[in-house]
Every structure is written in structure tokens, then in C-alpha cells.
Amino acid sequence: MESSDSQTSFDTDEYIFREGDPGDCAYIIESGMVEVALDKDGRKLVMATLTKGDILGEMAIIDRLPRSASARAIVPTEVMAIPLDYVSQKIEQSDPTVRMFLRLAMARYRDLNARLGQVFEGLSLGQLDAEGDGFAASTMELRSLIPQFMEMHKRIDSAVTKPAQTESGAIFGEKTLEVTRLLVTEEKMLRAAMTKKEFRLHYQPIIDLSNNKIVGCEALVRWNHPSGELLLPSRFLTHVENSDLIIDLGYWIAEQACDFQSRLCNDFQHDIFVAINLSGKQFEDQFLVPSLADIMDKTGARRERIKFEITESLLIDNPELATQSLHQLKETGAKLAIDDFGTGYSSFSYLHRFPFDTLKIDRVFVSAMARSEKSNQIVKSLVNLSHDLGMEVVAEGIESEQEAELMRSYQTAFGQGFYFSKPINETEFVKLLQKPQMELAG
Ligand code: C2E
Ligand code: CA
Ligand code: CA
């Protein structure tokens, strides 16, 4: 049976992969035993016998060349597959020096394997033609090289594939293996969560501070975990953002949120805005802006009632890409907000380069205002600057009437925070909207 990244159990004598196959995943052996061998015309040179905790099949994953040897289960074996895409992404994200060293090491390892293969083939050819001129001599030469090759091979092999025995643990220590195992498992669960529709959006009201009425909301993603727990983004979002899952999840979030805006307007006659968070990674997708425009149209959302929130770090990490995409996004008719403002490194003067409609003052300033004069000054300057640049201001993380009052006194028009409401599900949000005025939690 052909292996695939979904196959994790192999019977005795079943091949995990064969020489020449393209590499679709590497494997960690969970139990059992695997023989890695060069197989030539029914003759076999065993290169390694691997057991629980060993890694195999990593070469083709790293350099994308075909498998250089075959791997066969010699007792019933369980493996965990680490998919090519997953590893490729990690390699691409790694430091260029690490990438270079890894590729170099892999090229040398392959070269060694190839030479070992030649020795192996030469040996038997020589044996077939032992009487031939000069051939016996070269066979002898090759034969004399074998112990040397085998010794080198053994050393590299144990460094690469015997993590538990690598004392330093620096490259493939037990800890690294465990982390890899967890990350691969988590990514699998997150992908499954997408398929099984386990993600949910909650909505947190955004309030007009002059009359405590709801003017909009921010969509915040949650994972309805199979354990029954509703997980907050801090428990899973970094992982999603580090993989290309954020692209699919990002579109799903945009679609749900735009659909909600459309229904709020059409079914409930509440034409309020819905804010959607965008991650930096989503901007690497060249189709981001047209796809978001399509989603707004398809769902019937009013474009001017959709607001995309972008954090300062996105602008700092990739200003050219951000400037271009933000202008295009703005041209769709949607609104733009700069999120968590004040937590990054950008200076105030930097703001006018981007077409933001709204500035969201980060919670750290709002909560520090009562005890720090400096925070008060920062908030005042931020509000003044935003007004000068024609932007609305939303104060994030308002947790008390005192904070709401301070923000009002600084002419901040809008607020968001647990004092008004925590993020809530759609049904609760619609109920809250039916009330003439925000019923305060505090
Ligand atoms: P954020 O965009 O700054 O969202 C506001 C976060 O502050 C939310 O946390 C919200 O629950 C929390 N919050 C609101 N008011 C208060 C308050 O008064 N006190 C305190 N202590 N917290 C308050 P949440 O939902 O855990 O989200 C955390 C972050 O995860 C978000 O920060 C955002 O960066 C990210 N995130 C959430 N949903 C999405 C999403 O759909 N897409 C993307 N790309 N990122 C998301
Ligand atoms: Ca946000
Ligand atoms: Ca924020």
C-alpha cells in the first residue's frame, strides 16, 4: 500500500516509502521498528534501523528531492506524519543562516548516501566480473572504503535520527521532538476545527460615549473546542497566524462578520458597523483585497459599514505592502481602523501616511490613566492628533464609569470594554441592540 500523510499505522513488511518516491511527509516513530535500506535489484543494504522517537523521511522534505532510500516497517509500526507543507513553511520562516546550514548538511548527507549506493552497486558488479581487467582492483578499493563510509554514515545517522541520544538536545533533543509533536498535533486539530466548523464569532459592542448607544461592534474569534471549552484567541491564534490556516480562517471570519452586518441591517433594521481584525499574514495573499470586496458583495454587507482593523506592527513590519494594500482596501469603500495604537513603535507623525478612519487607543493607556499623569498626556495627545487628522477615536478596554468619564472629558467619542459589555454571541448581541440604551454591566 502507498503511504500518505494520513497513514499512521504500518504492518510488518509494509513500506512507509520507497526509494525514488516524492517526499510528502517526514515521520516520527511512535512505536515499532523501521528499516531504512537501499534496495537494488532485490539486494539490500540496511542503512539504519529506527525505533520509537526516531525521525525518518526528513531529507526529501527538506530539499524536496526524491527519497534516497526505502523505509519499511519490520514489526507493526505507528508513526506520526509531519507534512511537507508544514516543514517547508517552518524552513522558509527560519533565519537564512539556519536555512543555508540545513540545506548544506542535507546536500552532504545525500552525497554520502549516493556514494554509498555506488559502492554497493560496484561491489556486486565487481563480484560478477571478478576476472575482468582492472575491475577486481577497483572492487577491492571500493570494498576497502566501505567501513569508512559505514562509520561516517552511522555517525551522521545517529546525529540526525537518534534524538533521545543526542545529549546536548540542541538540534533534535527530546524537548524539540515533543514540541514538534505538539505543534503538528495542534495544527491538525486546527485544520479539523475549520472543517468541522468549530470556530465562532463573538461581537463586542462599540459605544457612543455621549449617549451610551451601540454604534458598532468588533468581531472576535473563538474556538468551540471539542473539550467543551470556548477558547479565546490567545490560546490558538498565534499558531493559526504562523501557518497558512490564517488565510482560510481569515476569509471565514470576514464572511461571517459581513453576513452579520447584512442581517443586522436587513432583518433587524440596525445599520451599525462591524469591525473585522486582519492579521499581517493575510496581507501576503495577493488576492486579499478583491476577495474581501467579493465577500462584502456576496453577503450583501454595506461596504461603508465594514471596518477592517489593522495593528501597528503590520505597518512596521512591511510598510510598502501595507501602504499599497490599505489604499486598495480603502478604495473598496470599507473603513479602516488602526488597532492597539500606542503599543508599537510608530511615531504619531507616521499616521498620516495611512488612510485610517479610526484610531483605537490601546487598553494599557486607558487603564493607566487613573494612576499615571503620563498616560493621561499620551491619551490627550492621541485624541487631539486623531481629530487633527480627521480620525474618530475609540478607547479600548473601558472597565469602569471613571474610565468612561475620563475618556468623555478628553472628547473621545467612542468606547469599548467590559464596562459596557464583554464580547457576546450573535443572539445576545441582537437582544442587547433591542434595548433603547446600553444597560451597563458595572
Ligand atoms: P483586539 O483586537 O485588541 O481585541 C480586543 C480584545 O480585548 C478582545 O480580546 C476583547 O475581549 C478584549 N477586551 C475588550 N474589552 C476589554 C476590557 O474591558 N478589559 C479587558 N481586560 N479586555 C477587554 P480577545 O477576544 O481575547 O482577542 C484578543 C486578540 O486576538 C484581539 O485583540 C485580536 O488581536 C485578536 N483577534 C481576535 N479575533 C480575531 C480575528 O477574528 N481575527 C484576527 N486576525 N485577530 C483576532
Ligand atoms: Ca481589534
Ligand atoms: Ca485592540
Average pLDDT over residues 322-350: 85
Confidence (pLDDT) at 201 = 98
Residue 140 makes CB contacts below 8 A (sequence gap 6+) with: none
Q: Is residue 391 part of a domain?
A: yes
Which of 217, 258, 260, 277 maximizes ligand 1 atoms within 8 Å of its Cβ, making it the mutation to test the pocket?
A: 277
* 182 belongs to a structural domain: no
Closest ligand relative to 246 C-alpha: 1
Predicted confidence band of residue 272 (pLDDT cuts 50, 70, 90) = very high
CATH code, 75: 2.60.120.10
Check whether residue 59 and residue 204 sit in a common domain: no
User: Does 280 lie in the same domain as 315?
Assistant: yes
pLDDT of residue 434: 87
- What confidence tier does 438 reach under pLDDT thresholds 50, 70, 90? low
Whether 120 and 227 map to the same domain: the answer is no
pLDDT at 26: 93
Q: How confident is the model at residue 219 (pLDDT cuts 50, 70, 90)?
A: very high
What average pLDDT does the segment 244-273 reach? 95
pLDDT digits (tens, 9 = 90+) for 359-414: 999 999 898 887 888 888 888 888 998 999 999 999 999 999 999 999 999 998 99
Could you tell me if 243 and 381 lie in one domain?
yes
Residues 105 and 215 reside in one and the same domain? no
Q: Could you tell me if residue 188 is inside a domain?
A: no
Q: Is 151 inside a domain boundary?
A: yes
Same domain? 154 vs 264: no
User: What's residue 273's pLDDT?
Assistant: 98
Interacting residues of 384 by C-beta distance below 8 A, sequence separation 6+: none
Residue type (1 letter), 243? S
Could you tell me where the DSSP H helices lie in 280-332? Answer: 288-299, 312-317, 319-331
Q: Residue 194 is inside which H or E element, if any?
A: helix 174-195
**Contact present, 323 and 335 (Cβ < 8 Å):** no
Q: What is the pLDDT of residue 436?
A: 67
What one-character-per-residue DSSP string does 326-365 give?
A: HHHHHHTT-EEEEEEETSSS--GGGGGGS--SEEEE-HHH
Q: Whose CA is nearest to atom 28 of ligand 1?
A: 233
Lowest mean pLDDT among 79-83, 275-279, 346-350: 346-350
What total number of domains does the chain contain? 2
Domain that holds residue 141: 2-175
90: CB partners within 8 A, 6+ apart: none
Average pLDDT over residues 286-310: 97
pLDDT confidence of residue 2 = 41
Cα 143-145-150 angle, rounded to 5 deg: 105
Q: Does 191 fall in a domain? A: no
Instruction: Indicate whether 304 and 398 sit together in one domain.
Output: yes
Cα radius of gyration rounded to whole Å, the chain? 30
Which range among 118-127, 271-280, 375-384 shows the weakest confidence by mean pLDDT?
Answer: 118-127
Q: Whose CA is nearest to atom 33 of ligand 1?
A: 277
State the distance from the centre of ligand 1 to the C-alpha of 222, rounded, in angstroms. Answer: 10
- Interval 230-249 mean pLDDT: 91
CA-proximal residue: ligand 1, atom 25 (nearest): 220
Q: Using alpha carbons only, what angle is made at residue 39 by residues 38 and 41, rounded to the nearest 5 degrees? A: 145
- Position 48 scores a pLDDT of 83
Residue where a domain stops, chosen among 175, 210, 238: 175
**Residue 77 located in a structural domain:** yes
Distance CA 434, CA 130 (A): 95
Residue 11: pLDDT band by 50, 70, 90 thresholds? Answer: very high
Give every CB contact of residue 134 below 8 A, 6+ residues apart in sequence: none
In the sheet that holds 33-40, the strands lie side by side as 15-17, 70-73, 33-40, 43-51
Instruction: Please list the residues that pair with 273 across neighbouring strands.
Output: 216
257 in the same domain as 134: no
Return mean pLDDT, the chain: 83
Same domain, 91 and 15: yes
Please report which confidence band the pLDDT of residue 175 belongs to, taking 50, 70 and 90 as the band edges: low
- Distance between CA 344 and CA 44 in Å, rounded? 59
pTM for this entry: 0.74
Distance 135 CA to ligand 2 centre (A): 74
Q: pLDDT at residue 132 above 50?
A: no
Q: Are residues 113 and 202 in the same domain?
A: no
Residues with CB under 6 A from ligand 1: 204, 219-221, 232-234, 237, 253, 277-279, 339-340, 363, 397-399, 416-418, 423
Could you write out the DSSP letters of every residue in 357-406?
SEEEE-HHHHHHTTT-HHHHHHHHHHHHHHHHTT-EEEE----SHHHHHH
* CB 66 within 8 Å of CB 60: yes
Shared-domain flag, residues 217 and 169 = no
- Residue 169, C-beta contacts closer than 8 angstroms, at least 6 positions apart: 175, 176
Same-domain pairing of 202 and 171: no
Per-residue pLDDT band for 113 (boundaries 50, 70, 90) equals confident
